[in-house]
Amino acid sequence: MRSLWSRVAGFLGWRHTDRDLDDEVTFHLETLASEYRRRGVSATEARTAALRDFGGVTQMKDAYREQRGVPAIETFIQDARYGIRTLLRTPGFTVAALLTLALGIGANTAIFTVVNAVLLRPLPFAAPERLVRFERRYPGSYGSNQDGLRFVFFRDNLRSVEALAASSAMGTFNLARGDRSEYVSALGVSKEHFGVHPMHGGPFAAEHDRPGGPDVAILTHGLWRTHFGERPDVVGESILLGERPYTVLGVMPAGFDPGWKVDLLLPLRTGMSGRGGGFNYTVVGRLRTDATIESASAEAATLWHAFRSQHPKGFVRRDGRPTDEIPSGFGLLLAYWSVPALLSLTA
């Protein structure tokens, strides 16, 4: 502690100067030399003996100066001053160096942000290592979305997953409230995706997710705050989307993140009417504890052949040639924003 205080005090200029140090060294040498002279040694020999006993004067001064300062900080300050003077003498080089550093730091920050979100940061859900995306696949390419018929078939037959859930963007609707009218965006979701429960009201049920079911909607927290004054009694209220009345079924909590700007959640109602609905359904699921991606993909491949035999027209191009689609499979979810609202599937 004494050494630390000496260094801090010396760095702040609160301790002896070099002149004080010289005076102190001279005093000690004179004291030693006087002791030798009292023993009868000549003045010259006494001076030599005092220097020998005292040790290296220069080395002692350097050690004392180092002890009363903080060498690392002092060296950094000296290097910084030298670097600044050098940069000021070459302004062109300085500007180029600063731009290079800015671009390098910006690029590395952007890359790390992506790597952190995709590889390092765990998904904000329980057991994220079991969250998977169900993909339609082609040789040499990444997986793509499913259609409604496939979603319903695999949801009802796959045993390697606890649940499958689907979502699809449903475009915008004109929300009319009194004399106010505004376009809002909607995301269609299947009833299975509600791992995050609405903060008011409840989630979609089976009767909402089938053709002909009641027209209901769930508000996101943002729309509830800006358009409905954060009223809990909004549940059960009727709103106009386009020219059709919808009953507000619930309100999602503030932490619900669908992956892009979404104002409303609507029942998806896909596949159950016998129509495929296009390949625009994002499908995710949660593996059972005793299943792996490989075992789930193997089961999906077997079911894929059964589905193909039941719906042969779905595997033929418009020109009559067969598609080059290969059996569907699963891929691990790496980032929650790679799949929309379905990543709230936590149950």
Banded pLDDT at 251 (limits 50, 70, 90): very high
Q: List, for residues 44-98, the tens digit of each pLDDT value.
A: 887 787 777 766 667 666 666 565 555 666 677 778 888 888 888 888 888 888 8
By DSSP bridging, strand 200-201 and strand 244-251 are: antiparallel
> Which SS3 state, helix, strand or coil, does residue 173 take?
strand
| 268-289: average pLDDT | 72
Q: Is the pLDDT at 246 greater than 90, yes or no?
A: yes
Strands (E), the chain: 131-137, 161-177, 180-189, 200-201, 216-219, 238-241, 244-251, 264-267, 282-287, 326-332
* DSSP codes of every residue in 41-62: --HHHHHHHHHHHH--HHHHHH
| Alpha-carbon gap, residue 195 to 339, rounded angstroms | 15
pTM confidence score:
0.59
Q: Is the pLDDT at 119 greater than 60, yes or no?
A: no
Residue 342 in tokens: 């379905």
